[in-house]
A and B are shown apart, each in its own frame.
Chain A
Amino acid sequence: MSASAQTQMRNLQGNHACALAAVAAGCRFYAGYPITPSSEIAERMAGELPQVGGVFIQMEDEIASIGAVLGASIGGVKAMTATSGPGFSLKQENLGYAMGAEIPCVVIDVMRGGPSTGMPTRPSQGDVMQARWGSHGDTVVIALVPDSVAEIYSQTIRAFNLSEQLRVPVVVLIDEIIGHLVETVAVPAPESLTLIDRKWADSPVDTFKPYAINGDDVPPMPRPGAGYRTHTTGLTHGEDGFPTQDPVLVAPMMDRILGKLERHRDLVDCFEAIDCEDAEILVVAYGITARAARRAVRRAREQGLRAGLFRPVTLWPFPEQALRSAAASAKTVLVPEMNAGQLCWEVERVCAGTPIARLNRVDGEVITPQQIEQQIMDLAAHE
């Protein structure tokens, strides 16, 4: 095996790792708008894409960026944009279009402090609920939340695969800290990667229904130019793709679109459970906060406390069953997060009956292992 075909150890900044992973995943179109702290992703894509025959374009605003991404994806090209909180807000309407019309796309949100302009250069985990509920109406979206530069690389590739496979927008929520962190990444050889492309329509043109409900949750996409001449719309549509408000047609279409992630839990779910089997105090944490929690749980164990960590990697749809199993022996669940309390309510819903404790920071500083360890100690002392 030649050296180039092997895994390469590289020191990469998180945002650069994201861009390189996107290119490795087959992304050939990027449209974006400058925003701190995500701009390095656009800058790296501007350098990388031309070398692989792709297109980079800096658009006039955040809305145009996601619009162009969706246009490129309808055209058949894997496409991505990256942003941060304020830009993520602006993209929500078109993200909803991607959900309804089932257009694959990847959106990176390098989170910063909010609300509003907030703290552009400081970390936050304030977009967790925006990722789930940011667009109007009922939504269907996958959100991934990596906790290291290496995981940014692997989860960005996974984001493209899931998006193509399930025809849903996939959001990668990156903590500002990890986006700007430089860590060693084992970059896999390109030929070792498993890359998934969307299913393309290849059935006869005359009878093709672009949104057929035939037992397969994810209909194949018609490639423009291949003769299918289909209609793509954000309006509620029937199997033929044309607008309808007929409840008889709308109900099964909405059931299919809104239910497809639930029916593909096997592909979507991804989490890490550490020392959960006998844990009496279960910490549920994600992203950079999970790194602090991992250390805090280890220290608590060293002091004889039954602590465990449950870390969702796929944040949405929420890994309900996995958390319920992990929390089976928990007397208290602690949810540290860098916001005023967002995921804690989802955890409370899933772990109904178990007391939930919160640990929140909104001052632009990370939650430290010491803070989490101290709270574990306090909770143990009060039991």
Chain B
Amino acid sequence: MSSAEHSDFEIRDYLRTDLFPHFMCPGCGHGIALRALLWALHELGISMDKLALVSGIGCSGRTAAYVDTNTMHVTHGRPLAFATGLKLARPDLEVVVITGDGDCLAIGGNHLIHACRRNLDLTCVMLNNEVYGMTGGQVSPTTSNDRFTTTTPLGNHEPVFDACELAAAAGASLVGREITLQTPSLKDLFRAALSHRGFSFVEVISDCTEIFGRKNDLGNSTEMILKQKSAIRPESYGNVVDQPFRPGNWSTGILARNERPEYGTNYREHIAAKLAVAVKGHR
């Protein structure tokens, strides 16, 4: 990334600023993730006329509306289903899904694994803030162990989903994870995902300061984000804060990549070939 590219990017060019003030709480990481996504789209020169952002329900779902493009805010857990129909009907559009940990891994989990399996050319951005923020802070499939939420008043006892391992195992042909603090790295990851032909899954470690952070005494937004950094790269940043934000070491960057036939292209080529044989057979 050159500094020239960075200076060239002005986020307000891509936002519906007439909708401001926006919906997000102070300290929310979703805006940083959206910035990185728009930065990547900018660098790739993708036309906002040809982009479709499909989002589900939750705080993540509300981010799409702020982008000045074709935006679809659909039902809870179903953005991948809508996006699948849209992309198959309109292969000319660049279709990006914005979803959250609850939207994607809980109510929408079935759609995620089958979207990974099909390998349709979609980019799925999962904003993981470990909590159902919009409904007031209930436990989600990615809430870390022992964390307090409104539905785990004694601390979370449930096992945690590793979304990237799930996506890779289900067949997503590009899988990656990044934290919001590493905005240029996150932008580069989005660039890779958007450029990839096939289903790409990007997990963004976001933060919910107002609800989740407050409930768990995780400090302000800066402190939360620095703790994320220490949890993800303890060998480099372990001295920043004493206590890791998450248990275990979360790897970041591109975690899985394979070149498999893209669903839409494969569908069209398969049908063309079979119909040609059928016509020949009738002669």
Q: Which residues from chain A sit less than 8 Å from chain B, CB to CB?
A: 28-29, 31, 50-51, 55, 57, 59-61, 63-65, 67-77, 79, 93-94, 97, 224-235, 242-243
Contact = CB atoms under 8 A, between A and B. Distances in A.
A227 B93 CA distance: 12
B185 interface: no
Interface in B34-90: 48-50, 52, 54, 65, 68-75, 78, 80-90
B237 interface: no
Could you say which of B68, B80, B85 has the most chain A C-beta atoms within 10 Å of its C-beta?
A: B85
Contact of A225 (B71, B72, B92): B92
Contacts of A75: 85-86, 89-90, 93
Given A72-B86, A227-B49, A64 B70 contact: no
Given A67-B78, A225-B49, A225-B50, A74 B72 contact: yes
22 contacts: A50-B274, A51-B275, A55-B88, A57-B88, A61-B110, A64-B80, A64-B114, A70-B85, A71-B83, A72-B88, A73-B85, A74-B82, A75-B93, A76-B90, A224-B52, A225-B93, A229-B48, A229-B69, A229-B70, A232-B72, A242-B19, A243-B65
Nearest to B92: A225
Nearest to B73: A233
Nearest to B53: A231
Nearest to A55: B88
Contacts of B68: 229
A225 B70 contact: yes
B255 interface: no
Contact of B84 (A63, A68, A224, A230): A68
A93 B75 contact: yes
Interface string B80-108: 11111111111011000000000000000
Contact of B81 (A63, A74, A242): A63
Given A51-B275, A75-B93, A63 B78 contact: yes
B111 interface: yes
B12 to A, nearest CB: 15
B256 to A, nearest CB: 21
A59 B78 contact: no
B2 to A, nearest CB: 29
Please indicate which of the listed interface residues B75, B78, B81, B113 has the most CB atoms of chain A within 10 Å of its own CB.
Answer: B81
B89 A229 contact: no
Nearest to A54: B89
B185 to A, nearest CB: 29
B271 interface: yes
